[in-house]
Structure 1
Amino acid sequence: MRLIHILVGLCAVLASWNLQAATLVHNFSGYQATEQNLQQFNTLVFDQGKVLATGDYATLSQSYPKATKIDAGGKTLLPGLIDAHGHVLGLGRLQQQLDLRDLDLPQTLKAIEQFSQKVPAGDWLIGRGWNQVLWAGKEFPTRQQLDALDIDQPIWLRRIDGHAGWANSAAMKLAGITRETRAPAGGEIIRDRSGEPSGVLVDNAMALLESVIPQPTLQEEKAALKTAFDLALSLGLTGLHDAGISGQTLEAYRQLASEKVIPLHAYPMISIDDKNLPQLLAAGYVGAPDERLYVRSVKVYVDGALGSRGAALLEPYHDRPGEKGLLIATESELLQQIKLATDNKFQVNTHAIGDRANHIVLDILQSLNKDHDQKPSRHRIEHAQVLTIDDIERFPSLNLIASMQPVHATSDKNMAGDRLGEKRLARAYAWRKFLEQGTRIASGSDFPVEPVNPLFGIHAAVTRRDRQGDPEQGWHMEEAMNMEEALRSFTLDAAYASHQEQVIGSLEPGKFADFILLDRNIFTTDPQEIWQAKVLETWVEGEKVYTRSE
């Protein structure tokens, strides 16, 4: 009996301690998407990094009378946002490289010339972000344009989508690329009328040049990842899905995890082309859903991108009748790659943009499903931009996730019609078609292809307009999301896509207290102003990890 009294007393002490230790944030407009509905609340209580309750201040202040209170000053509170498709190392490295996004050709050349003054003699000038679709004439650039800048360094500049690169003659010479050089399967060397390489390499052909560029060391990769983490937190991201990493980058992640310096929830996908992939898969998952580092997926690559005409289409490009795009791997190779991953019980996240690429992936997954149920794996199609209606309708039977990037629609609207024609355009960037059949959309940005700011993505999802407001009525608004769907795609469904919906993605009791405070209410503001919202604070597991300095 005395032991029972002791235990009861101890429980009372612990309960009192928990009430005292809890933190109660109040005086905000809160929103979260759950499996059931959109919930609104003005008070959040958490303790030891986990949510205890959300609801009304009058009720929760009485339930937790000794909690430490934080007045949010009438701001807007959302669950921490999750980017379901980005390139974290690329984002970190780009902060020290040349960013050419949104520039016309004269501005691009001027930026290259100016940046060259910062590059030490003998080093490569590296950058990315050029987009010929924004230039007069919309033609691919040439090495002669770079050579005319009289820059001594070898130059390599990836296109905005990462599926083509532009080199000067010095870089081409170092790589040994001449008119006799043949493009590898799944790649293309763009040539001028005389047959000489123009300086632009597409998809697998980029490896011909990138193989001679000095690669970052492990320590440099760790530093770049940390830079990207900090930038992500400042923009309200508490979760990142890293869409394709090498074995060395995986080691960088593991070391950062062991040093306990990963400040958010990271979900890297191991690249299918890593030479040690069988051993990495045989070693099993890394981490667990409730750890800062969780690895249980593989990134597979099927085709290129629409802008560089590398996306694999069933019918020729509308603006290039003789071309149907590129398959980065053969169908038999893809089957072997995907089967290797599924045999090791890894989730398969496949880059597929064109309707032919998507059809091939669906056929492979359908065939594997006959031998072993693939639905629990929650395989993902990364991008899923152009599909036939029949293939869109195949997603539910396989429990496939459409991992899509809303900003791609508003960035691609200037060229997608040229590439596809109106008939195929009606089944491209088809968010509404996926949602209405019950397919989950895990939204991301594909940074650094697009800006990392997730509020840009929410804005694009809802308005189907760019940040300048074009087109005024929205681009194919029949496929737009509503605000609840957009929020859910960047929170709960993104968490579902990484098998983490039990621990992150919403602020339901027992989940991590990952949340952000915004300077405006994106549910009530003019939708065109959503992208202008600023993140004031970011919290991960109940700890404030970012505060806006302005």
Structure 2
Amino acid sequence: MRLFPILTFLTLALAPWSLQATTLIHNFSGYQTTEQSLEQFNTLVFDQGKVLATGDYAALSKKYPQAKKIDAGGKLLLPGLIDAHGHVLGLGRLQQQLELRGLDFPQTLRAIEAFAQDLQADEWLIGRGWNQVLWEGKEFPTRQQLDALDIDQPIWLRRIDGHAGWANSAALKRAGIDAGTQSPAGGEIIRGEDGQPTGVLIDNAMALLEKSIPTPSLAQDKESLKTAFDLALSLGLTGLHDAGIDNQTLRAYRQLASENAIPLRVYPMISVDNDNLEKLLRQGHIGAPTERLYVRSIKLSADGALGSRGAALLEPYHDRPGEKGLLLYPEDRILSLLKLATDNDFQVNVHAIGDRANHIVLNHLETLDKARDQNAFRHRVEHAQVLTPADIPRFPRLNLVASMQPTHATSDKNMAGDRLGEERLIGAYAWQTFLKQGTRIAGGSDFPVEPANPLFGIHAAVTRRDREGNPTKGWRTAESMTLEQALRAFTLDAAYASHQEQVIGSLEPGKFADFVLLDRNIFTIDPQEIWKAQVLETWVEGEKVFTRKQ
């Protein structure tokens, strides 16, 4: 397996459980969002991993005269940032795989050829990140294009959104996929005019191939998770919501927790695809809000993604009039899975991108609410990407959280209009519309679909521009967030979405001292520069767990 050295410029210290003396850190510009307001402060005092006070240096240094003092050198201090929707194992594994994000088609082929040179004779070439929307012609690729590279190994490359994959003939042969193979429910084998598979598999069809890929061991998965943890800490993330885990990943998490080897807070969602789902749910929640590992939710994907035309729409795709996307489960099966979770007191977090998928999920949640009040669960719609304007106001009554990823809008801006047409964009990526009606937005990235850096998400939320500054006036800026709203989405409201707002999400007294120091003040610089800010230090429970080498 090809291994990439990562984080060589970092120093990591994982000692969050050591005894501490009262510590006073000062000389910084501090910002946090509370339920009431945006607060500014220049001094933070903590002891035994918990915040004692925030405020002014003169008053707090007098109140805590014996405290150990740390001068922050005028930097920016924020509460620890939380990514409310990512794929932790996928992020860790990607560091050992081929990443194709942002490449045009010729660059993609060259990257595949270069990566193949270091593979063993029978080793699969695995990667992800290609995006045909960035290529000339914007058409799906084919197996013939991979076969022409004269690479003997089977090749499997997931699309950037993870909802389509591209295989060469060797991989299709290993999986037994040919002209006679039927597309599964909720998936599609793309075929050419001759009826043969082109090499692109959509949504549930990907499983037909992936079952042939050797499964990593539990030990390998634990190492991949650790790799992801280290990367997250270097980006200022002190909390991760893992959007869908299988049995082995859950075992890996539980072993790491028992070994005190989880250096930040993880909120995994149990995938409904687990064979022993009912047994897992009947066993109850794992951990507690105060613990590093806390499991009390499920993840269900109702549809696919917009870029691969798998998102389920009420009306046909604007650029493909004969298609409306895919539901990954029958409607009655979605309802039964949601009921199974809520009957066992589990929060449901449902991936819904298209307006049809969102409409169905909202209908089902209202059905459940008639039998039992659902408000306390804080159910989440993951992505809530495209909705009819009439469906958005249904969120507050059920106390639903919109778990949204701001960088999706800036990545999709060149494609969304093609897929939906201008009229349906009114209810798409509608952050400010949700916020104005009182719906909480839990900010995330969907890494490794998008980069894991939360400052990229805050930048996109505020500017509605990509990191190259396009479009210059922003894309549909009426739906942009204020910087205060964006910070809250990646701190307090992300914590609320995991039932942890009483212990993390802000630096109020009694909460854990999870915070980050940045090299510049994102509240005073040009908003287009926010994404360039660098995390200098990350602290979890009052212990420094990451320092950027100068």
TM bin (shorter chain)? over 0.9
Ranges in structure 2 where 5+ consecutive residues have no aligned partner: 1-19
Aligned to 1:270: 270
Which stretch shifts more, 233-242 or 209-218?
209-218
Aligned to 1:525: 525
Aligned to 1:150: 150
Task: Provide, for residues 313-361 of structure 1, a one-character-per-residue CA deviation record: whole Å limited to 9, x for no partner.
Answer: 0000000000000000000110111110010010000000000000000
Task: Provide, for residues 411-463 of structure 1, a one-character-per-residue CA deviation record: whole Å limited to 9, x for no partner.
Answer: 00010000000000111000010000000000000000000000000000000
Aligned to 1:391: 391
State yes or no: 1:225 paired with 2:195: no
Task: Trace 1:17-36 onto structure 2 (pairs within 5 A).
Answer: 21-36=21-36
Three-state SS of the structure 1 residue aligned to 2:222 is helix
Cα offset, 1:389, TM superposition: 1.1
User: 1:537 corresponds to which letter in structure 2?
Assistant: E
Distance 2:283 2:119 in 1: 41
Distance 1:120 1:514 in 2: 43
Distance 1:118 1:417 in 2: 40
Aligned to 1:63: 63
Task: Provide, for residues 165-224 of structure 1, a one-character-per-residue CA deviation record: whole Å limited to 9, x for no partner.
Answer: 000000000111111111000000111122110000000000110011111111111000
Aligned to 2:441: 441
Distance 1:215 1:339 in 2: 31
State yes or no: 1:416 paired with 2:416: yes
Distance 1:412 1:344 in 2: 37
Distance 1:237 1:426 in 2: 32
Aligned to 2:194: 194
Percent identity, please.
77
Distance 1:407 1:495 in 2: 20
- Whether the 8 Å contact between 2:375 and 2:399 is mirrored in structure 1 is yes
Distance 1:415 1:448 in 2: 19
Distance 2:195 2:468 in 1: 41
Aligned to 1:13: none
Three-state SS of the structure 2 residue aligned to 1:31 is strand
Task: Trace 1:82-481 onto structure 2 (pairs within 5 A).
Answer: 82-481=82-481
Three-state SS of the structure 2 residue aligned to 1:442 is strand
Aligned to 1:17: none
Distance 1:278 1:507 in 2: 38
TM-score of the superposed pair, with normalisation by structure 2: 0.96
Three-state SS of the structure 2 residue aligned to 1:220 is helix
Distance 1:282 1:490 in 2: 31
Aligned to 2:16: none
Distance 1:261 1:305 in 2: 34
Distance 1:489 1:235 in 2: 16
Aligned to 2:538: 538
Cα offset, 1:121, TM superposition: 1.0
RMSD, aligned CA: 0.6
State yes or no: 1:77 paired with 2:77: yes
Distance 2:71 2:478 in 1: 40
Cα offset, 1:21, TM superposition: 2.2
Task: Provide, for residues 125-145 of structure 1, a one-character-per-residue CA deviation record: whole Å limited to 9, x for no partner.
Answer: 000000000000000000000
Distance 2:172 2:356 in 1: 32
The structure that has the greater radius of gyration is 1
User: 2:380 corresponds to which letter in structure 1?
Assistant: R
Distance 2:137 2:212 in 1: 32
Distance 2:226 2:340 in 1: 31
User: 2:428 corresponds to which letter in structure 1?
Assistant: A
Distance 1:118 1:505 in 2: 43
Task: Provide, for residues 106-165 of structure 1, a one-character-per-residue CA deviation record: whole Å limited to 9, x for no partner.
Answer: 000000000001111101000000000000000000000000000010000000000000
- Whether the 8 Å contact between 2:82 and 2:490 is mirrored in structure 1 is yes
Three-state SS of the structure 1 residue aligned to 2:391 is helix
Task: Provide, for residues 273-330 of structure 1, a one-character-per-residue CA deviation record: whole Å limited to 9, x for no partner.
Answer: 1001111001100000000000000001100000000000000000000000000000
Aligned to 1:16: none
- Whether the 8 Å contact between 2:389 and 2:426 is mirrored in structure 1 is no
User: 2:204 corresponds to which letter in structure 1?
Assistant: N
Distance 1:239 1:95 in 2: 20
TM-score of the superposed pair, with normalisation by structure 1: 0.96
Aligned to 1:14: none
Moved beyond 6 Å, runs of 4+: none
Distance 1:113 1:530 in 2: 35
- Whether the 8 Å contact between 2:246 and 2:274 is mirrored in structure 1 is yes
